[in-house]
Amino acid sequence: MSDAAVIMQVRDLHVEVAEAQLEILKGVSFDLKAGEIFALVGESGSGKSLTSLATMRLLADALRITDGQVRVGGRDLFALSEAAMQDIRGRRVAMIFQNAMSALNPVQKVGDQVAETLRLHTALRGDALRQRIMQLFAEVGIPDPAVRCHFYPHQMSGGQQQRVMIALALACEPDVLIADEPTTALDVTIQAQVLDLIRDLTRTRQLAVLLITHDMGVVNQVADEVAVMYRGEIIEQAAAADFFRNPQQTYSRRLLDALPDLSSFNAQGRGLSLLELEGVKVHFPIRKGVLQRVVDHARAVDGVSLRIARGETYALVGESGSGKSTLGRAILNLEPVAAGRVVFDGEELQSKDRRAMLPFRRRIQVVFQNPYSSMNPRLSVELIIREGLSSLRRDLAPAERSSRIDELLQRVQLDANIKQRFPHELSGGQLQRVAIARALAVEPELIICDEPTSALDVSIRAEVLDLLRALQRDSGVSYLFITHDLSIVPTLAHQVGVMRQGVLVEQGNAEQILTCPQHAYTRALLASVPKLEHR
């Protein structure tokens, strides 16, 4: 073990649900050392994020700390007043939250949010303050910092929002950085940049970093020490090299075994065409001036042509902002196509109006990246699935729809008693299964999957991917799988297309693209993927 100075000590931390007296953290202990990254890994619900919130005294009112101690620089955080904790948070201990969109203020420009933190904890003002904001944005890879600092969170991609969160956390040069899934929403090249940045800052500034993640490739790449959590307890802790060489616990080995096999590829031949795109372009107007006149167009998708066969998975990969999701919306006729053709089963979709598109809404479905934001929080699981059946399968009687819902839940491996529960009562993995069930309800021929596994831990991700493959084998459904996670492509996709700045720079079968890429951009993407040496 390292003899580096200990910056934060967590000792025998216990947390319970107050009313139920149900213990959910059970004696958690670890040290964060200067210049080192401590990775806390485990499945959703294991207590990783809860541990970080408890150390910062940010628990919900329904939870309470029943025992334990957290010390930073010799001070017991649990003995401080809330006013004293305000000085600790941000200045001594900073946190990067997992869901940037919910952590950022939606009605305040992102530059102003960073400025607010700097004004609170430093003496920077005027030009010096603006220069520091530009420097932070440039450090975390935000393009055109002078322009983007005036954006509101909703005007930025998920990856850019997460980079703003990282800039906020680093603004006051804290001693301890708690990073809760900091790269979940980032594409592989930006993930590599952010991880390099965190690792470099850890060394140069002698930061003590608590990295919470479900990505074992990331852990292998940056962590000095690893702790595995299971049901509120740390069940294994070791130096990173020792952990990956010889994990001691069965659960730890199961986490590693759930990682995709990068040497296995789908060999299925191409069948009849289901979807063809020919020179598709999607342009967004750029407006300026008091009258908001159109002065130019942003070419989000610029002449994309591809083909998806029946029963085939086409993986569309590329960085945030490359046009992947915009292309998916154009196929669904949710974005106007400026030029080109979208041909589904022999019929052109790009010129159809809302009424003419209704029959195709049944045949083409979508699974969104964030199931929490794509479901009505006021509806139960049963009503969420029934909604699509009621509007697109009017030929079914009410009793048939109920039977269909039970069958769908069984197909996505969810218990029937989940029907009366609401989205907030389900885990991320359960919610994504509900989203898949909703998409399958009307028996589509094509499902557009927009980053459906990016927020899932490795074991749940493996289960969802296995489910998608099994559904494809059973029903012959085709997938357009939009992702920035190249590690899942080999075992899932038959064909791969690589997008950059709205253009499809390379496409072909999965084995060809991933083992012998021709384009420099594809090679850069593959080089940025965190890997485990033994796999």
- Which sequence spans correspond to the domains of the chain? 37-62+89-257, 311-333+353-527
Which tens digits make up the pLDDT trace of 273-299? 999 999 999 988 877 777 778 777 778
Residue 535 and residue 203: Cα distance in Å, rounded?
28
Q: Beta strand 93-96 with 36-41: parallel, antiparallel or unpaired?
A: unpaired
Residue 218 and residue 191: Cα distance in Å, rounded?
9
Low-confidence ranges of the chain (pLDDT < 50): 534-535
- 404's CB contacts (< 8 A; 6+ apart) are 389, 393, 396, 441
33 neighbors 208 (Cβ within 8 angstroms) = yes
The reported pLDDT for the residue numbered 414 is 85
Residue 471 and residue 193: Cα distance in Å, rounded?
36
Q: Is 4 exposed, middle or buried (0-12, 13-18, 19+ CB in 10 A)?
A: middle
| Cα distances (angstroms) measured from residue 230 to each of 47, 134, 215, 439, 471 | 7, 41, 16, 32, 30
Residue 76 and residue 236: Cα distance in Å, rounded?
26
450 neighbors 369 (Cβ within 8 angstroms) = yes
Q: Write down the mean pLDDT value for the chain.
A: 87
Query: Which secondary structure element, helix H or strand E, spans residue 407, and what is its range?
Result: helix 398-411
First-to-final CA distance of the chain: 26
174 neighbors 147 (Cβ within 8 angstroms) = no
Question: CATH for 37-62+89-257?
Answer: 3.40.50.300
How is domain 311-333+353-527 classified at the CATH fold level? Answer: Rossmann fold (3.40.50)
Instruction: Give the 3-state secondary structure of residue 446.
Output: strand
Chain position carrying tokens 């030929």: 395
Q: Is 91 exposed, middle or buried (0-12, 13-18, 19+ CB in 10 A)?
A: middle
325 neighbors 502 (Cβ within 8 angstroms) = no
The reported pLDDT for the residue numbered 535 is 44
Could you check whether 37-62+89-257 and 311-333+353-527 share the same CATH topology?
A: yes
The reported pLDDT for the residue numbered 534 is 45
Cross-strand bridge partners of residue 386: none
Query: Which secondary structure element, helix H or strand E, spans residue 201, and what is its range?
Result: helix 188-204
